[in-house]
Structure 1
Amino acid sequence: MTFRIMNYTTKITATLKKTGAILSILLFLSSGSLFAQDSSQWVIDADNQRKFDYYFYDALNAKAQGNYAEALNLFQHCHALDSTNASVLSEMSGFYNVLQEKNKAIYYLRKAVEIDPDNYYYNMMLASLSSELDQKDEAIDIYNKMLKAHPDKIDIFMSLAEAYNNKGELEKAIGVLDELEQNVGVREAITLNKFRLYSMLNQKDKAFEEIEAIIKKTPDNLGYILLLGDLYMQDGQLDKSLEQFKKVEAIDPDYPALVLSMVNYYEKTGKPELALEEINRALVSPMLEIDVKLQLLTRYITMLQSNETDTKIANPLFTTLFDQHPNNAQLNLLYGSVLMVQENETEAMKQFEIYAKAEPTNPAGWEQMLRIALPDSLDKVVDITQEALKHIPNAYQFYFYLGGAKYQQEKYAEALVVFEEGLEVIGDENPPVKSDFYAQVGDLNYHLGNKEVAYENYEKALKLNPQN
């Protein structure tokens, strides 16, 4: 079963569509005194201005509280009262953009810019939306206009360069970045973008000259030397890449990022045994941060599996890491996963229990414990899911596992309660999951003799997912 988490955009979209946010004709019929608003001389009268202010601040308040459908309704009412207000036009554009009604979004945003042509944010939003809708020339024109008005804003330079890049005018993009570099000096973001553009033009010498220039400016920055080596390696120039790595090693042999670069180099040159040695050496070093070690350790395990090497040789490394970092729960989660590969479920369960205790609101630990408990230990499944729901009451997957366990234990009434509680926390954005819950509620009602209720729930399940 696939479980999906609704993001911010989905939440707004679902709320707006559910409520039905379009008022159109009703607003025009109910708005008191309305006038033809094509004229730039049009001015809202005092009575309607009071209404406008009331609705506008109510709309902002509704938006801040997450009541998006109400907010859009109120902004539409404001627009009916005064269609020349740029703030309202911009707000409406934002809502239509979220609703994926892009043509309406750009229409209202263009109107906002027409009314307030010097507004920085309206113009930048319009340029971004124009780029998204493949209106490349419009985006470029806007960025050029804004650059004349705000020659000190780095983000306009970067956006204009990207707009030229999107249009395929790479030389113009480089020209914009050159101008920016003259204004602010050599900077990593500019250099990397110029490297990318020169590479796309197949001008490799100029591309690498850009990286060498930033190294020349900051010779003590080992990260840039390492970056040059990584880029040489990506380009297949392995001798030059190793030369840069050796420079870093001579200055600081314990430089954390050097390990990853050397591992990549050894893999690229067909020397996996040296890559493993490099990782092994780094993992026991007290100089590296735990986050880097976890990244290396994951890479190490993957390489062992790829080479069909027994992963048990990694177990002593975990012992060392637990001594060095006794309170890092991510180590327990990773070690538990490795023990599962080794089919040592008893020890794996211990590691997942430690992780779940340390990170009770992260479902990963509980889910790994369920992998071990299912399908043989229903009592254990009940214990795990009940404990998980104490900490993550909105994690509907645990309702499904708990209800399923009680169902198999033939505790039909208890299972029914669990599935009904689960239905209350599942959003409308998950129809296949909700369908499965309705199907289980139907089955349980059937077992309990409530056939009419059972059939009602079967219909709900099929309506959400005809393939159920």
Structure 2
Amino acid sequence: MYNKEAILYIFIFIFLLSSCGVSKKIQSPDMLKEETDYLSANDRRKFDYFYLEGTRLAQKGEIDAAFDMLRQAAAVDTMSASVKYALASYYLQLNKPQIAYDMIKDAARIDKDNYWYGMMLANLAQNLGDNEQAEKAYQTLIANNPQKPELNYMLAETYAQKGEYQKAIDSYEKMEQSMGIMEPITLQKVKLYKALKNDEKAYAEVEKLIKAYPQEIGYLILLGDIYLNDNKDDKALEMYDRAEKMEPDNGYLLVSKANYYNRKGDKERYLGEIRKALSNKKIDVETKVKILTDYLSDLLQKKENLDQAYQLFSELVDMHPQEESIYSLYAEFLLSQKKYKEAGGQLQVAVDLAPNNKQYWLQLMGVNMQLGELDEVITAGEKALTYIPDAAEIYMYMGSGYAMQKDYDKAVDILKRGISHLDENNNTLVSDYYGQLGDSYYLFGDKDKAFEAFENALLHNPKNTGVLNNYSYFLALDKRDLSKAERMSGDVIKIEPDNPTFLDTYAWVFFQQGNYTLAKIYLQNALNKGGDKSADLLEHYGDVLFMLGEVDEALQYWEKAKNAGSESEVLPRKIKDKKYYEK
């Protein structure tokens, strides 16, 4: 798939260049003759026709036909730089950069002085990692175009990619000699001097900026930050103090000073600077959220003074009550503290303020799912779909909610509705979606459609462990295609050998095959890896023990399953009759 509008633009651009005389593009028969005078008269007529017809078709938007003409023109005249340049542009649009590179190398070799051929060659060489060719191409361009000092920037990038940092710096300085001191160039030179471990020259570069722009407080802060990062705390504070005399309430200065006090271990002044930054009306909300995110990360890492976070959020919400990003960040912090109810409250405000934000809805539904508030999951999903009806993830969450309520017909219905909104290129989501649909179909009682959905899920992601596990478990329950169930479950165990749920499934497949000894081994492994809290797993282990003749031990595990909250309908009969019954 390629962009026809982009190719049309390239053709028109080439045509305009021809008429402007920038390069040897062909516009008239006389110009064609000038470039193709080594051709026979007959070949020159053919070339003229194919090339000009290609240009005409391109202007009409008939791109495929135009390039057929150009390819025929190239076959007639293998030395036409114009055609090779046009074809190179075409192959770039087709995402075939190597073919384009070969074409433009030929074009630039044939017409060495052409600026546009040289630029495409240099850029493609750089993008494809051919830094030697890129260096040569940029050097040629600079030599031929002394009025374009900005070319030194691209040459410097090439040197930097090669690890030749001093040459890169020299190229930047040549550019500065013509264009003056500029922040982006200075910052690049600072990075390169740091890479060369020449800190003094890096500092000197920022000092040049400060001298050139004495009223720009940001450069003082920048130099202070570099000093702070290099553990030169006193010099950092000197820069911050100079900046503070110019603008004491500058938000970025407050953040930098906060980092300084944090480095010095002065927690009180650290928090004070954070508070001043967050209350500063000159700082935009996005920056404040970043400041608070960094601060929270520090608090959570050190696991101290977490109460300060709640106060900061309260102050920030009072100042910016309509900014949903603050509520979202607050919810994330609350979730880190396992305060799900409170997090849900903040997310509810976020979705009210930004109802078209899919991520907020998914977070809210996830919190409600965690709380077991399934009605809230479904209610939130219904409301979300009024704003974003094409969000397949919302349908999937709602399907899970209905399934957990054992309302399987509604689960199937909502999941079927969502299928049309799946992005077929998102294999992970599509696989999970059909896996959920398969679970719901099976529990609804439509097993054939369930297995069909599982197959569809695995078609999009053959290593989806959740689908492989559930598919193999349901096959085992039905004693259906047990060899396939064993293979799929075995694949899951290879991926996650310590997951007790997956080990239980593998054991259950062996149980249904009558291989009770292997089933016991894998169930013991599952119990040792945390499965001793699962009522289903405990019941399965009791079933295996019974089949192995260990009836008393089987009863013990059936009792444990009962005490663990088992919902198995046959478990009470097993305990009462001291006998195994199938589900």
**Structure-2-length-normalised TM-score:** 0.64
Of 217-226 and 103-112, deviating more is 103-112
Written as runs of structure 1 = structure 2, the 5 A alignment for 1:299-314 is 299-314=294-309
- Among 185, 196, 210, which residue is 1:190 paired with? 185
1:95 aligns with 2:93: yes
Call closer, same or farther: CA 1:439–1:351 in 2, change over 3 Å: closer
Question: Within 2, Cα distance between the matches of 1:270 and 1:57?
Answer: 68
Aligned to 1:82: 73
Question: Within 2, Cα distance between the matches of 1:339 and 1:447?
Answer: 35
1:466 aligns with 2:468: no
Q: 2:433 corresponds to which letter in structure 1?
A: F
1:457 aligns with 2:453: yes
Secondary structure in 1 matching 2:379 = helix
- Among 158, 163, 166, which residue is 1:163 paired with? 158
Call closer, same or farther: CA 1:175–1:355 in 2, change over 3 Å: same
Aligned to 1:24: none
- Among 384, 390, 398, which residue is 2:394 paired with? 398
1:370 aligns with 2:332: no
State the Cα distance separating 1:184 from its structure 2 match.
1.0
- Among 111, 129, 134, which residue is 1:134 paired with? 129
- Equivalent residues of 2:67, 2:87 under 8 A apart: no
1:222 aligns with 2:235: no
- Give unmatched runs, 5+ long, in structure 1: 1-10, 14-37, 62-70
State the Cα distance separating 1:232 from its structure 2 match.
1.6
Of 131-140 and 342-351, deviating more is 342-351
Q: 1:56 corresponds to which letter in structure 2?
A: A
Call closer, same or farther: CA 1:295–1:171 in 2, change over 3 Å: closer
Question: Within 1, Cα distance between the matches of 2:394 and 2:37?
Answer: 60
Call closer, same or farther: CA 1:377–1:112 in 2, change over 3 Å: farther
- Among 416, 423, 429, which residue is 1:420 paired with? 416
State the Cα distance separating 1:225 from its structure 2 match.
1.2
State the Cα distance separating 1:130 from its structure 2 match.
1.2
Per-residue CA shift, 1:324-379, capped at 9, x if unaligned?
32322222222333344455444433321221122122223212211321041222
1:293 aligns with 2:288: yes
Aligned to 1:352: 347
Aligned to 2:138: 143
- Equivalent residues of 1:89, 1:111 under 8 A apart: no
Of 402-411 and 253-262, deviating more is 402-411
Secondary structure in 1 matching 2:129 = coil
Call closer, same or farther: CA 1:152–1:417 in 2, change over 3 Å: farther
State the Cα distance separating 1:138 from its structure 2 match.
0.8
Per-residue CA shift, 1:369-413, capped at 9, x if unaligned?
113210412221111122223322333221211122223333334
Secondary structure in 1 matching 2:71 = helix
1:441 aligns with 2:443: no
Q: 2:170 corresponds to which letter in structure 1?
A: G
- Among 41, 51, 54, which residue is 1:52 paired with? 54
Call closer, same or farther: CA 1:45–1:287 in 2, change over 3 Å: closer
- Equivalent residues of 2:381, 2:394 under 8 A apart: yes
Aligned to 1:18: none
Q: 1:359 corresponds to which letter in structure 2?
A: A
State the Cα distance separating 1:420 from its structure 2 match.
3.2
Aligned to 2:521: none
Fraction of identical pairs, as percent: 31
Call closer, same or farther: CA 1:358–1:215 in 2, change over 3 Å: same
Aligned to 1:277: 272
1:381 aligns with 2:377: yes
Question: Within 2, Cα distance between the matches of 1:392 and 1:131?
Answer: 42
Call closer, same or farther: CA 1:46–1:221 in 2, change over 3 Å: closer
1:268 aligns with 2:263: yes
Secondary structure in 2 matching 1:466 = coil
- Equivalent residues of 1:56, 1:78 under 8 A apart: no
Call closer, same or farther: CA 1:393–1:50 in 2, change over 3 Å: farther
Aligned to 1:246: 241
Higher normalized contact order (CA 8 Å, seq sep 6+, divided by chain length): 1
- Equivalent residues of 1:284, 1:317 under 8 A apart: no
Call closer, same or farther: CA 1:450–1:118 in 2, change over 3 Å: farther
Of 179-188 and 417-426, deviating more is 417-426
- Equivalent residues of 1:312, 1:342 under 8 A apart: no
Question: Within 2, Cα distance between the matches of 1:115 and 1:74?
Answer: 26
Of 362-371 and 115-124, deviating more is 115-124
- Among 230, 236, 253, which residue is 1:235 paired with? 230
